[in-house]
Amino acid sequence: MTEGADQISWLHLSDLHAGQANQDWLWPTLQTRFYEDLRRVHPRVGRIDLVIFSGDLTQSGSKEDFAVLRKILERLWQEFNYLGSNPKLFIVPGNHDLTRPQKFDANALAVKSWWTNSDVKEAFWADAENPLRKFVDGMFVNYQEFRRELAESEIPICETTDGEIPGDVSSVVHAGNFRLGLVGLNSSFLHFFDDQKNKHLDLDPRQLLSVTGWNPDEWCRENDVNFLVTHHPSDWLHDKASLHFQAEINPPGRFAAHLYGHMHDPAIRGARSGGSAERKTVQAASLFGLRKIEGTTFDRIHGYCAAKIITTANSATIKFWPRIDKVVDSAVRRFVPDDRFDLEEENFFAVNLKRSSNKENPNNLTVAAEVIAFREASEEAAREVSKRPTQSFSHQLKPAPQHLGVRRLEQKQLRRAMEGDRKAWLVSDWNSGTEEFVWSVFSALSDELPLTYRFSLQEYDGREGFFSKFSLEAGRSFQEFAKSVFGPKKVLLLLDDAPVSRSINSETSAYEVELESIIEAFRDYCPNSLVLLISRQRPTSSNIPVVELPPLEEPDVRAYVLQSDNGGAKYSATSAVSDIYRLTEGMPVEIDSLLKQLEYISLAELIEARLNSPQNDANGEMPVAIFSTAINELHLSEDPLLQRSFNLLKALAVLPYGETLARIRRFNSQQPFHPAHAATLADRGLIEVMPVVPTLKTSLLGSPQSPKLHVKKAIREQIYSTLLAPEIYELNRRAASIYFGEDWIQGQPKNIKTTDIVAALGGGGLGNPHAIINALFQQAVEPGDASKLKKIVQLARLFIVDLERGNNFRSTVTACQDFLRLIPADSEVHTADRNWFSFKLAASLRMLNDRSSATDIFATLNLEDFDKTTKRRILINWALAEEHNDARQAKELAEKIISLGKATFQAMEAQALILRLSPEDPERFNKLKAIEKKARGRKAFTAANNIAMFLSANGNLNANEKRESLRGIALSAKRNGDSYGATRAAVEIGKVTRLNSLKPSSDEVAGLIESYHYLYQERISGLFSSCHENLWHHFLGQNDMPNLLRLFRHSSFVWRLHGHEQKELPYIESLLEYFPKDQYHASQERNAESDYFLIRLEKFKPQIEVY
C-alpha cells in the first residue's frame, strides 16, 4: 500500500430471515426505521462501498423466500442510490438459506454422522461427484440460483472465486490503492436439522484453500486487510474442527477480524494466545428475525453495524458505528447507538491496526491493541441461567379502564363462556385492543386477575408439533405445565394465532378439532383453568363458543375517549367523535395512538396532516404488515387466479367502505373479477364479506342487497406500503371511473346517484367516492400539477352537487371540510372554488340544525365574489338559518334576495319566509297559498312543499285533512327526489295518526321506516326522535318485539353519541312493562338486540323502580 490515506466503508448485516411466516409483519415498519437511520449514519460513514451479509438471508431457503429477499434488497439499493452510494454485496449462506431435507433421507442421516463415522467425511472430500457432496450441493440450489440472478440484476455483487462447497467464496474490494480481502466460508452445510446445535459443525481447511488458490497466506499478503466471514461463531464448531479453525483457517495475524451472525446478539471481542496477534471477532445483531432465541427466553437484538477503515502507510483505524433498534420514548422505537459499547462522542468506537510483524504476512494490517469485551464474563453467565419454565411465557394482562365501558355486549358473551364452558374462541384483529378487552372481562369477573400464560399457535402443524414447540419454549412438557399450574388459583391460558379452517389447506379443518381435544384434556386436568383461543378469522369446525370483537361503534368511541387518559370531555362533541371514528375506523389501538398525537396538535390540524400526508396515517409501532405472508403469496404468484385475486385486493384497498362484486367487477375491463377471486381473498382473511342489512327488518323494504367486500384498514395500509405513487394514482383513477364514468379524466364526469350507493353499501358507502377524490387531490397537489388539480376540483364540485341533490347533508359537510383542507389555500386560482365549497358547507350545516356554525360561515363570505344566482342561493340559506334565531336579520336578508330578482325561485322562498315571520298579517295564509300555487306552477316543488308543510302545521285542519295534505307533500317530495322533504312529511303523518289513534296504512309505515333509515344516517336530532316515537308506537301496537329491540338499539346508538343517554330510560321501562325481566333472562332466543337491551337495562337499573 502506498503512502497517503485511503478508506473503505461497509455495512455488516445478518439474519434478515426474509419470508419468515410468523413475524414478517414487523419488517415493513423495521425497514422504515432502518432506512431513516441509514440517512443519519451515512454522513459520518461516507459513501458505502460494501455490504457484508453474514447469512440467514431467508427463513427457509425456498424460491419464494429468495424472491422476497430480492425485493427487499432492491428496495435497499434504491435507498443506497438515493444516498449517493452503490455498494457491492458480499454474502455467505446461513442455516436458514438451505432447503431442509426429509428427516429420514438416507444421505441426510449419513452426513449427520459426520463426527461419528470417519468414512463419511473422508468420502465427502475425496470426490466432488460423491452422493454426499451432491446432497449438500442440492440443499443450496436455490441459494446458488439466487446468486446467479443477482449477478444479472442491478444490485452490484462482489466478483468472487468460488470454492469446493456452495457458499465458499473469496473476493477483493478496492478503494483507491487500498485492497480489502474477503473470505466467506459456508459454516452451515451440516446444520440442516433443528436438533443440530452447537459443537456439531465443521469448517474444513480445504474450504479456505479452494478459494485462495491453495495458498491462503500468499493470497492474504496481496491485500492490506483481510476479513473472514461465516454465519456461525467458532464456538459452534465441533472440538476437532475448532482446533483446525484456530490453527489452519484463522491463525493469529491472518485475518483482521472474523465476522459472523447467527446468535443475533452484537458483540466485538478480542483474544490472544501467548504473545500472538489478537484475533478479533465481530458478531452481528439480527437485522430482522424472531423475537426469542430458540430454546431461550431473552430477546434477540435487532440492529446492524456501519464501519469504515481509514488507512495510512503503516497503520489504520476501523471505526464501528453499532446501531440497535429499541424503545426510546412513549413506546416509539428507532435505531439508536448501541450504548453498551464504549462509544466516543460521535457514537463510534475505534480499533487500531498496525503493520503485522508476522513473517508469513508482513504486509497485513492486524489488531494493534485489545478492545474491551462487549460483555463481561459474569454477564454472559447470567444470561445462561435458566428461568423457571412457566415464567417463560407467563403474561401480565394490561389494565385498561377505558375498555370497561365499551363492547359491553361482547364482554357479556365472553363472561358467559368463561363462567360456563371455561373456554372460548375470540376473533380479533391486532389493533382491536384484544389484551385490554380480555382484561376488562376478567377484572369484572373477580377482584383478582387469573394467573395468565400466553402461547403462540402460529404455524401450528398438528398435535405433535404443538407439544414439541411447547416443550421447547416452556422448558417442560405440556403435561408438566398442566401439573405445575394446578391449584386453587384461577389460571388463564391464552392461545394466540390459533389456526382456522381454510380451503387452501385441507389439513386445517382438522386443526380446530385437535385443539379442542387438547383444551378439553387440559381443562379436565386443571379444573381451575380457563382457555381462550385467539384468531383473526372465525373458526368453522369448532364447537367452542365464539366471541367476535368488532371495531367500536361511534357511541363506544365516545365512551372510550371520555375514559382515556389522553382523551376526556374536550373530544366528546358529536363532530369530534365522528372525526376520530373516521380516522381510526373504531380500532382501539389506533384511537390510543391518535389521542397521544392530540397532545401536540389539534384534531383539525391532525385531520389536515393526515389528508396531506396519508403515509402518516399508519401507526408505525403497529404490526400493520401482519398479513404480509398472505399478501406476498398472491403478489409473487404466477398463478393467474392468484394474480387476479391480488388485483381485486388492490382495487378494494382504495375503497375504504367496501364494494359489491357486481359493481367492482369491471374495475379492469380486460380482466374482470369473479366470485372465485373474492373467495380466494376471503379464505386468506384478507377481505370481509359483509351483508348490507337495513336498520329495521320488514317485508315492506323489498329484497336483500348483495353483500359487500371490505378490506380492513390494517391490510389497506399494508398494500399501500407496497405500491409506488403511479400505481396508487392508477388505482384511484379506475376507482373514480366506477362512480363518475371513464370520461371524468377528460373533464367530463357523469353524475352519481347517491341513493343507489347507499342502497348497495349502506350509509357509509358515500365515503368511497369521497376517499377517492381525497386521494386524487393528494396526488395532484404534491407535484403541483395544475391541469390535473383543475379536473379533481371539477370532480369534487360535481360530487358535492350530487350529495346535495340526494339530501346527504352529513356527507356533504365532511367532504367540503376535507376539500377545503386539500385545495391550496395560497392559490388565487382556486379562491372561487374555496368560496363555493364554504357556501355548500354552510348550507348543509343549516340542514343539520347547526345554524350557528352555518351563519358564522355565511357571514365570512364576500358576496361580491359570486354571480347573482349563487348570491341569491347564499342569502336564502342564510336567511333560513336565521329564521329561528334572529327574525329581524332573516327578514332583512329575505328583502335583499327579492331586490336581486323578484321573479326567481329564491324570491318566492324569501316572500314565504317573510310571511311566516309576520303573524300580524291577517292575509298571510292566503298569500302563502298563492305563493305555493305559483311555485308549483313553476315547478319549484321544494319551495311549494315547504309552504305546504307550514300551512298544514299552522292551518285550521282536522286530522284527516292534515293527513291527506301531508300525504300529498310526501308524494310530491319523493317524486322530485327530495328525501328531506319526504321525511318531514312522513314523520308528521306518523305523528297525526299516533296522536289521533288512526291506523297507519302500509305505505305510511314503509315511509316511516324509510325516513328512520335516512334520519339514522343524517342524525337530525329533533326529527329523529319524533320518527322513533312514531315507529315505537306502531311496533308496540303490533307486538313486534324483534323490531322494537332493533329500534331501541339503533336509537340508543344515536342518543348515546349525542350524550343524550337519558332518552333511553322511558323505552327501557316500556319494554319491561310488556316483557317482564324474568322472561328476558329465561329466553333461549337471545340475540345481539336482546343482549344489548339487557346491558342497557343493567346500566339504568338503579333508576327503574319496577326492576
Listing DSSP states for 305-336 in one string gives EEEEEEE-SSEEEEEEEEEEEEEEETTEEEEE
Angstrom distances, CA of residue 509 to CA of 467, 502, 820, 865, 1093? 19, 7, 52, 67, 36
Closest listed residue to residue 687, CA positions, set 504, 536, 540, 584: 536
pLDDT for position 108: 87
User: Which of 228-237, 241-250, 870-879 is modeled with the greatest confidence?
Assistant: 870-879
**603 lies in the same domain as 629:** no
Secondary structure (3-state) at 420: helix
pLDDT number for residue 367: 52
Residue 863 lies in a domain: no
Q: Is 418 helix (H, G, I), strand (E, B) or coil?
A: helix
Residue 690 sits in a domain whose CATH number is 1.10.10
Residue 111: CB atoms within 10 Å: 22
Q: Indicate if the pLDDT at residue 377 is higher than 50.
A: no
Question: Given the C-alpha cell 500472538, which residue does it identify?
Answer: 276
Nearest Cα to Cα of residue 713 among 833, 802, 528, 584: 584
Q: Based on the domain organization, do 570 and 472 belong to the same domain? A: no
Last residue of a domain, one of 384, 404, 430: 384
Neighbours of 464 (CB within 10 A): 8
**Do residues 292 and 307 share a domain?**
yes
For residues 792-815, give the mean pLDDT: 94
Distance CA 1045, CA 1079 (A): 14
Quick one: 312 and 377 in the same domain?
yes
Phi/psi region, residue 253 (left: phi>0; alpha: psi -120 to 50; beta: rest), is: left
3 state DSSP class of 169: strand
pLDDT in tens, 423-471: 999 999 888 899 999 999 999 888 788 999 998 888 788 888 888 888 8
- Give dist(CA 561, CA 567) in Å, integer: 5
Residue 1099 has what pLDDT?
Answer: 85
Q: Answer whether residue 169 is part of any domain.
A: yes
| Phi-psi region at 347: left, alpha or beta (left = phi > 0; alpha = psi -120 to 50) | left
pLDDT at 384 over 50: no
Q: Is residue 947 part of a domain?
A: no
Residue 829 lies in a domain: no
Dihedral of the CA atoms 240, 241, 246, 250 (nearest 10)? 170
State residue 1021 phi and psi, 5-degree precision.
-55, -50
- Angle of CA points 508, 509, 511, to nearest 5°: 60
Q: What is the pLDDT of residue 380?
A: 36
Residue 1105, pLDDT > 70, answer no
Residue 293 confidence (pLDDT) above 50: no
Distance, CA of 673 to CA of 681 (rounded, Å): 12
**CA neighbor of 716 nearest in space, from 761, 655, 662:** 655
Among candidate residues 617, 641, 666, the one where a domain is terminated: 617
pLDDT at 388: 40
* Mean pLDDT confidence for 309-316: 79
| pLDDT for 948 beyond 70 | yes
Q: Calculate mean pLDDT across residues 522-535.
A: 85
d(CA 1, CA 89): 24
Strand partners, 162: 169
Q: How many CA atoms lie within 13 A of 494 on its CB side?
A: 22
> For residue 759, is pLDDT > 90?
no
CATH of the domain at 968: 1.25.40
Q: Mind listing the pLDDT tens digit for each residue in 995-1029?
A: 999 999 999 999 999 999 999 999 998 899 999 99
Kindly tell me if the per-residue pLDDT of 238 is higher than 60: yes
Burial class (CB within 10 angstroms; exposed 0-12, middle 13-18, buried 19+) of 1041? middle
Percent of the chain with pLDDT over 90: 50
Distance, C-alpha 190 to centroid of its chain: 40
Pair (538, 599) in one structural domain: no
Backbone angles phi, psi at 1004, to 5 degrees: -70, -40
Rounded average pLDDT over 641-648: 94
Is the pLDDT assigned to residue 272 strictly greater than 60?
no
Pairing outcome for strands 349-355 and 365-367: antiparallel
| Non-local CB neighbours of 366 within 8 Å, separated by 6+ positions | 252, 253, 256, 277, 278, 353, 354, 356, 358
pLDDT of 382 reads: 31
Place of cell 455495512: 11
Comparing 658 with 824, the larger pLDDT belongs to 658
Between 445 and 361, where is the model more confident?
445
Does pLDDT of 345 surpass 70?
no
772 and 798, same domain (yes or no): yes
Kindly state whether residues 534 and 609 are assigned to the same domain.
no
CA distance 1057 to 1055: 5
Do both 412 and 541 map to the same domain? yes
pLDDT, residue 366, reads: 60
* Average pLDDT, integer, range 782-811: 90
CA-CA-CA-CA torsion for 875, 878, 884, 889, nearest 10 degrees? -60
* CA 911, 914, 916, 918 torsion-angle sign: negative
Identify whether the C-beta of residue 39 lies closer than 8 Å to the C-beta of residue 84.
no
**Bridge partners, residue 303, by sequence:** 324
Q: How far apart are CA 440 and CA 432, in angstroms?
A: 13
DSSP state, residue 632: H
The dihedrals phi and psi of 306, each to the nearest 5 degrees, come to -100, 145
- 212 and 146, same domain (yes or no): yes
Give the residue with greater pLDDT, 39 vs 826. Answer: 39
Enter the DSSP assignment of 52.
Answer: E
Give the three cell numbers for residue 94.
446461513
Inform me whether the pLDDT recorded for 295 exceeds 80. Answer: no
Q: Is pLDDT of 519 > 60?
A: yes
Residue 976 has pLDDT above 70, yes or no: yes
- Integer CA distances (angstroms), 731 to 632, 715, 727, in order: 19, 16, 6
> SS3 helix, strand, coil % of the chain, rounded to 5?
55, 15, 35
Q: Is residue 109 part of a domain?
A: no
Q: Are strands 451-456 and 491-496 parallel, antiparallel or unpaired?
A: parallel
Asked if the model's pLDDT at residue 300 lies above 80, the reply is: no
- pLDDT value, residue 484: 81
* Same structural domain, 395 and 491: yes
Predicted confidence (pLDDT) at residue 1065 exceeds the cutoff of 90: yes
pLDDT band at residue 374 under the 50/70/90 scheme: very low
Give the separation between CA 971 and CA 439, rounded to whole angstroms.
54
Q: Which CATH number goes with the domain that contains 403?
A: 3.40.50.300
What is the average pLDDT across 835-863?
95
The confidence band for 317, taking pLDDT boundaries of 50, 70 and 90, is confident
The mean pLDDT value for 389-394 works out to: 57
Q: Examine the pLDDT at 792 and tell me if it is beyond 90.
A: yes
More confident residue, 497 or 839: 839
pLDDT at 847 over 50: yes
Q: What whole-number distance in Å separates Cα of residue 840 and Cα of residue 166?
A: 70
Tell me the average pLDDT across 862-877: 93
Which pLDDT band holds residue 755 (cuts at 50, 70, 90)? confident
For residues 1052 and 1096, state if they share a domain.
Answer: yes
With respect to residue 927, please indicate whether it lies within any of the assigned structural domains: no
pLDDT at 1107 over 60: no
Whether 224 contacts 179, CB under 8 Å? yes
Taking CA 867 as the corner, what is the angle to CA 865 and CA 868, rounded to the nearest 5 degrees?
125
pLDDT tens digits along 398-431? 889 999 999 998 999 999 999 888 999 999 988 8
Number of domains in the chain: 6
The verdict on residue 130 lying in a domain is: no
What's the burial of 376, exposed, middle or buried (CB within 10 Å: 0-12/13-18/19+)? exposed
Closest CA to 52 of 318, 405, 435: 318
pLDDT tens digits for 70-127? 999 999 999 999 899 999 999 999 999 999 898 788 888 888 889 888 888 888 998 8
Which residue, 503, 524, 548, sits at the end of a domain? 548
Residue 365's pLDDT band, with cuts at 50, 70 and 90, is low
Residue 524 within any structural domain of the chain: yes
* Residues with Cβ within 8 Å of residue 675, at least 6 apart in sequence: 661
Q: Would you place residue 600 in the very low, low, confident or very high pLDDT band (cuts 50, 70, 90)? A: confident
Domain span holding position 569: 554-617
Cell of 931: 305563493
How many CB atoms sit inside 10 A of residue 673's CB?
A: 21
Phi, psi for residue 446 in degrees, rounded to 5: -155, 155
> Residue ranges of the alpha helices (H) in 996-1087?
1002-1018, 1021-1037, 1041-1057, 1065-1074, 1077-1082
Whole-model pTM: value is: 0.66
Rounded distance, CA 612 to CA 392, Å? Answer: 45
pLDDT at 749 over 70: yes
pLDDT at residue 478, as a whole number: 82
Residues 610 and 629 placed together within one structural domain of the fold:
no
3-state secondary structure 893-919: HHHHHHHCCCCCHHHHHHHHHHHHCCC
Output the average pLDDT for the chain: 85
Residue whose grid cell is 336579520: 889
Burial of 214-235, coded b for 16+ CB within 10 Å and e otherwise, reads eebeebbbebbbbbbbbbbbbe
